């Protein structure tokens, strides 16, 4: 997995985000940028901006279920896809992700944070398995 080959995704370097207003002691970890949408995974939440306005935000403690869907995509042809989060109240959130090797980076970041916070949501990699 070579992050330098990812088209839309990047591991966040540093402890500040220029594009997002973060809470005190909240650190950016992973970012997915498309033309009009920016998604940031931090140590506390997943945030998405569309046209420079925050449209989605969910704290890790609120996650009840994760559905990564078709995260593999076509080999060596990364594209943007959607992963779903269902909160503990049943509300569904759709966040962008890059398919292929970059998706493994995103999935590992989310799963690691959930493990560190001792949160065990249901996880589905393929909606057919549900």
Question: Mind listing the domains of the chain with CATH numbers?
Answer: 3-129 (2.30.29.30)
Q: The whole model's pTM is what? A: 0.86
Predicted confidence at residue 118, as pLDDT, reads 83
CA distance linking residue 83 with residue 30, whole number of Å: 15
Q: List the structure tokens of 21.
A: 């207003």
Q: Which residue has the higher pLDDT, 121 or 90?
A: 90
Which tens digit of pLDDT belongs to each residue from 74-116? 666 678 999 999 999 999 999 999 988 899 999 999 999 988 8
- Give the position of tokens 């995260």: 71
Q: Taking a C-beta distance cutoff of 8 angstroms, is the pair 78, 70 a contact?
A: no
Positions of E strands within 9-128? 9-11, 28-33, 37-42, 45-50, 53-59, 63-67, 80-87, 92-98, 122-124
Nearest to 88 by CA among 70, 115, 71, 64: 64
Q: List the structure tokens of 100.
A: 């292929």
């Amino acid at each position: 997995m070579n992050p330098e080959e990812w088209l839309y995704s990047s591991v966040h370097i540093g402890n500040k985000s220029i594009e997002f207003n973060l809470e005190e002691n909240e650190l950016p970890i992973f970012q997915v940028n498309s033309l009009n949408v920016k998604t940031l995974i931090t140590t506390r939440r997943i945030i998405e901006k569309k046209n420079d306005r925050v449209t989605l935000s969910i704290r890790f403690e609120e996650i009840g279920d994760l559905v990564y869907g078709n995260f593999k995509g076509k080999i060596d042809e990364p594209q943007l896809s959607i992963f779903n989060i269902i909160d503990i109240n049943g509300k569904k959130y759709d966040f962008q992700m890059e398919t292929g090797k970059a998706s493994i980076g995103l999935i590992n970041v989310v799963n690691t944070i959930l493990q560190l916070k001792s949160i065990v949501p249901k996880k589905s990699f393929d909606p057919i398995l549900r």
